[in-house]
Chain A
Amino acid sequence: MLHDYLTLVWVFFKIGLFSFGGGLAMIPLFIIEFEKQGWMTSHEFLNVLSLAQVTPGAIAMNSATYVGNKVQGIGGGIVATLSLASPSIIVMLVLSKVLAKVKNHPIKEAIFNGLKPVTVALILYAGFQIAQTTFFKGQTYDLEWKPIVICITIAVIQHFYNKLNPIFLIMLSAILGMVLL
C-alpha cells in the first residue's frame, strides 16, 4: 500500500515537473504513464478528460484527482493532486523571488515586452479554439445557433454592465445552456 502511494507521488510529480506550456501539455504524458502503470486505458482516460472539462478547476488537476481516487481512494486522490501541483509550486516560489529582484531591470522589461504580445495572441487563440468546438457541429462547418445566441447575449450584457462579476455570467450561461440546448 505504501508502495502504491509512492508510485502515485513519483508518476504525478514527474509529469508536473516536465510539462511546459500549461495543463494541456500534460495530457499525452498522462496517457503514456497511466497505460504503463496499468491504471487506465487511453479510451477510459478520454472519458475522464471529458468529465475534467465540464467540472470546475484546472483540467490536469481534475484528471489527477480522478485517477488517484481510482488507484487508492480519497487518500490517493489527494496524494496524486498534490504531487502534480508541488513541482509548479516549488519552482514558482523560487523563480518569483528571483523575478522580484530583477523587477525593474531593463533586460527583464525587454524580454517581457516580447513575451506579452505572444501571450495576448495565445489567449485569443484559446478563445478561437473554444469558439470552434462550441459554435460548429462536430468537425463540420454547420453552425450551432443556440450557443451563438448565448454568446451574443453574454457579450451584450457585459458590454452594458461593465462591473458585473464573471461568476454571475458563468452561472447565467450554464442555466441558459440547460434551458435552451
Chain B
Amino acid sequence: MAQENQDALSSGAHIQIQLFISFLKVGFFMFGGGYAMIPLLEQELIQKRKWISNDDLLEIISFSQMTPGTIAINAATYIGNEQGKTWGGLVASLGIIFPSLLIISLVYHLAGSHFDLPWLQNAFLGIRACLVAMIGKSVFKLFKSGIKGNVSIAIFLLALIALLIGAHPILIIILGGIVGFITFKITLK
C-alpha cells in the first residue's frame, strides 16, 4: 500500500522529487560498499525509471570511481544532474545520504556502543551471500553491454589479474584510460 502511494506520487511529480525518492530507496537498501549497489541502480534507474541504459551505468560508475569521494554519492550527483540539472544532482545526493544520517544517528543515541548483536550480524551475513549472487548477475549484464571486441576483453582479463595479484585499483583505472586512448590513436593511423 505504501509502495503504491509512493509510486502514484512519483509518477506525476516533479523530476527532482522522483530523483530524491529513487536515491533514498537505493540508500536504504545499499549494503556492502559502492559496487554492491549496482543491482539496485539497475532496478531503479534502468528498469523502473528508464533514465539510463546498461552501458550508461557502466560509464557512470567508471567516471565515479575516478573522482574524489564515495562512488555512491558521485553516481547520484552525476545522474541527478543529468536528469534534473544542478538541483537534481543535489537532491539525488541528499537522498542517498539521508538513510546513513537517520539510521546511524538513531543507533548511536539508542544503542550507544552496544551494537554487537548476533542476529544483526547473521542478517548481514545473509545479505552478503545475496550480494555475491546479485553482483555476479550484474557483472554478466555489464560485460555483455560494455565489453566488445578483443582489445576490451584483453583489458578486462589483464585488469582482473592485476587486481588479484594486489595492484592498486587507481593505477589500473589510469592504465585502462591510457590503453583506450592509445588504441584510438593507432586505429586513426
Contacts and interface: CB of A to CB of B under 8 A. Distances in A.
Contact of A158 (B65, B103, B128, B134): B134
Classify the interface of chain B: helix, strand, loop or mixed: helix
Nearest to B105: A77
Interface residues of B, number: 103
A46 interface: no
Interface in A52-105: 52-62, 64-66, 69-70, 74, 77-78, 81-82, 84-85, 87-89, 91-93, 95-97, 99-100
B34 to A, nearest CB: 5
A107 B184 contact: yes
Nearest to A66: B104
Nearest to B34: A22
A177 B129 contact: yes
A17 interface: yes
B68 A54 contact: no
Interface residues of A, number: 96
A60 B144 CA distance: 31
B163 to A, nearest CB: 4
B108 interface: yes
B69 interface: yes
A38 interface: no
Given A62-B100, A70-B108, A114-B177, A147 B40 contact: no
Interface string A94-134: 01110110000011011111111111111111111011011
Interface centre among A92, A93, A148 (most CB of B within 10 A): A92
B113 A47 contact: yes
16 contacts: A65-B100, A88-B93, A111-B184, A113-B180, A117-B146, A122-B173, A123-B139, A124-B160, A130-B128, A150-B126, A150-B130, A167-B40, A173-B126, A174-B123, A174-B124, A177-B125
